Chain A
Amino acid sequence: MSILVIGLNHKTADVEVRESIAFDAEKIRKGLAGLRGLPCVKEAIILSTCNRVELYLHTDDELNSAQSIKDYLAEFHQIAVEVLNGALYVYAGVDGVRHMFRVASSLDSMVVGEPQILGQLKDSFEIGLAEQSSGIILNKLMKKAISVAKRVRTETKIAENAVSIGYAAVELAKKIFGDLGDKVFMLLGAGEMAELAARHLTGSGVKEVIVANRTYERGCTLAAEFSGRAIEFSEFKTELLRADIVICSTGARSYVLNYGEMEKIMKSRRQRPAFIIDISVPRNIDPKINDLDNVYLYDIDDLQGVVDTNLNERLKESLKAEEIINEEIEVFFTWMQSLDAVPTIVALRKAAEDIKNEELSKLYNKLNGIAEKDKKAIDQAVNSMINKLLHPPTTALKGNDEEKDVLISVVRRLYGLNGQ
């Protein structure tokens, strides 16, 4: 029995290939049924996201299984095996388990530490459970993967700190203002990046949104989108008396706000802090205003620098995560090994022997002086009792049962052999 992971992701396959083998929920159900039909597959779970498609399998024999599963995938999606072969990776045994743990912990993600993957993995697991394609091994593996991911999340800083421009802006705003609930946000101009950042900021609950655009109508559309208020572009300096957070992205060729103007505005604001993000290129706001007290000016490169620092931090943290994963792999395989019949039989016999020795020594103490001969007789009687009692489970464990994994796990549980 072996764990097998077959899949592709954003690193091994471009979007075209990923699309062609993506599964929706319906296809997952069909695919699981199909996989279970293959003689080598005992259990299966399918994970399908925009960045990866992976099959988690419990199989008989890893090497031969891999090829037949690849063939099945090609047939299911009606694409050439050659196309798939170039993109698919196959991990077996320890490597497979490590890969799953890394995926769950978001170490294998495009943005390391992004949180969605765990939810997607849970969903796939749910389908596997509902379709009964996941059994004792994959159930354990999935639960372990989820708990490893949680451990990584709490014990490392892999998911901390913003790794997108928008989040970085929100994070900074919170470090300047604390709560954003009473803050006024102004969007100056428009543009993809500015709107994205604006969406993050409005999403984090600012009190009021003001939109100033050179084209008033465009401003109104944007204002409606952010449930804010549109103003004439020429009025923005007046509104700067109230706005605490400003994102600026206009097409102007020169500065729309200079040092002297901002200095005056800050006086009128009674020095209340202002956080200004200038993502225009060329810059629209005089960089010198960052020297003013209580004014914090960030341009696009500054924010990118913040994001890069944070990404680096995450990569450093991922080393710690790999260590946690190594530990957990060991725990998992200790459990896997316990599922072999022989150690289970040995453990069962040992448990019986322990009970026998304990009870007999109590008995002999109580009897206080007993002939060696009698001791032997009692010993024999107890031994034969043990043998008779253990005979049926032992034979069952040695047999060639279909559901042997289940049987072993049940025996271990019933006799308390899991080391509690």
Chain B
Amino acid sequence: MILTFELALTSYFIATILSVLDLIKASKAASKGIAIFALVGFIVHTLNVVLRLIASGHLPTASLHEAASFFTWSIVLIFFIIEYRYKVGLLGSFVLPGVFILMLSSSVLPREIRPLSPILKSSWLWLHTILAFVGEAALAVACGAGIMYLIQERHVKSKKLDGLFHRLPSLKVLDEVNYRLITIGFPLLTLAIITGALWSEGIWGTYWRWDAKEVFSLITWLFYAVVLHARLTAGWHGRRTAILSTAGFIAILFTFFGVNLLMKTFHGFE
């Protein structure tokens, strides 16, 4: 189990180094290497998640270490889906470094398997957590596409068509990928909040307890709701959406780590 985690971490690390090299100097060998190492990392990582699941008997999201690791896993999953579907050049260079940092932060957190509080043992756990993690992973990749959009937009606006201009995809594609990911992530996040509320009602008899995690999740949710609303009604897209989706992801990261590390919450990981 430890071995699989370290192997996944190492693979992501190599993929990240290659993806940064690829960014600095285009190289076919590097881009091939990125795909291979990211895939190897993902496979070993999947194995790690499964082993942990078998050892603990529940979805491995009970400690912050597990949660960060599972979140990373979800991001790589979404990354591969988008790569397969859109073949967005250089996306790896903007997603994999984040993947590695998340995995690294997971690696420094206490790794022992903790027993899950019996009241949380239910199929709601699976539903609520997977919805939340995959949804947030989609929004994480959306942030990557958003940053790429902002760089490419800078090139076109400033009329300096060197550097990454020729290698980054068109603004249209980047905006489309960004939007598509938000339209995947937002409904999943919505469902996660709903299932969370229902679950909470089942355990504590109340849908909403104004816990820090709940509050920040709601803020994040509202944020993306505004992004989507502005796009649908006022046609907001491109640069504005890209900036907002980057900001949104920072909110997600805070909800994810900040709340757990800085505030009091019953919302689990420890």
Contacts and interface: CB of A to CB of B under 8 A. Distances in A.
Contact of B156 (A160, A293, A296): A296
Interface in A277-317: 290, 293-294, 296, 298, 302, 305-306, 309-310, 313
B52 interface: no
Interface centre among A294, A298, A309, A313 (most CB of B within 10 A): A294
B239 A176 contact: no
B82 interface: no
A270 interface: yes
Contact of B166 (A160, A269, A293): A160
B39 to A, nearest CB: 27
A169 B114 CA distance: 61
Interface in B145-163: 152, 156-157, 159-162
Contact of B236 (A172, A271, A298): A271
B238 A271 contact: yes
B119 interface: no
B238 A293 contact: yes
Interface string B161-204: 11001100111110000000000000000000000000000000
Contacts of A178: 169-173
Contacts of B236: 271
Which bucket holds chain B's interface residue count? Answer: 20 to 34
23 contacts: A172-B156, A174-B170, A175-B165, A176-B170, A176-B171, A177-B171, A178-B170, A178-B172, A269-B235, A271-B237, A271-B238, A273-B171, A273-B172, A290-B157, A293-B238, A293-B240, A294-B239, A296-B156, A296-B157, A298-B159, A302-B159, A305-B159, A306-B159
B170 A177 contact: yes
Given A296-B157, A305-B159, A309-B162, A175 B171 contact: yes
Contacts of B169: 178
Contacts of A273: 171-172, 238
Interface of B: 152, 156-157, 159-162, 165-166, 169-173, 234-240
A161 interface: yes
Nearest to B235: A270
A70 interface: no
Interface string A100-138: 000000000000000000000000000000000000000
A294 B237 CA distance: 9
Q: Which 8 A-B pairs have the closest CB atoms?
A: A270-B235, A178-B172, A271-B235, A178-B170, A302-B159, A175-B170, A306-B161, A294-B238
A356 interface: no
Contacts of A172: 156, 161
Contacts of B239: 293-294
Interface of A: 160-161, 172, 174-179, 269-273, 290, 293-294, 296, 298, 302, 305-306, 309-310, 313
B148 to A, nearest CB: 12
A298 B237 CA distance: 21
Nearest to A179: B172
B159 A161 contact: no
Contacts of A293: 238-240
A356 B105 CA distance: 69
Given A177-B170, A313-B162, 5 more contacts: A175-B152, A175-B171, A270-B234, A294-B237, A305-B159
Contacts of A160: 166
A176 to B, nearest CB: 5
A131 B141 CA distance: 62
Contacts of A179: 172
Contacts of B161: 172, 306, 309-310
A308 to B, nearest CB: 11
A356 B160 CA distance: 69
Nearest to A269: B235
A271 B165 CA distance: 22
A306 B155 CA distance: 11
Nearest to A168: B161
Contacts of A176: 156, 170-172
A175 B237 CA distance: 16
B45 to A, nearest CB: 33
Contacts of B172: 176-179, 273
Contacts of B237: 271, 294
A384 to B, nearest CB: 56
A84 B173 CA distance: 56
Nearest to B162: A309
A175 B161 CA distance: 10
A272 B238 CA distance: 9
B89 to A, nearest CB: 12
A271 B231 CA distance: 10
Contacts of B156: 172, 175-176, 296
A73 to B, nearest CB: 44
A290 B154 CA distance: 12
Contacts of A271: 234-238
Nearest to A162: B161
Contacts of B170: 174-178
Contacts of A294: 237-239
Nearest to A302: B159
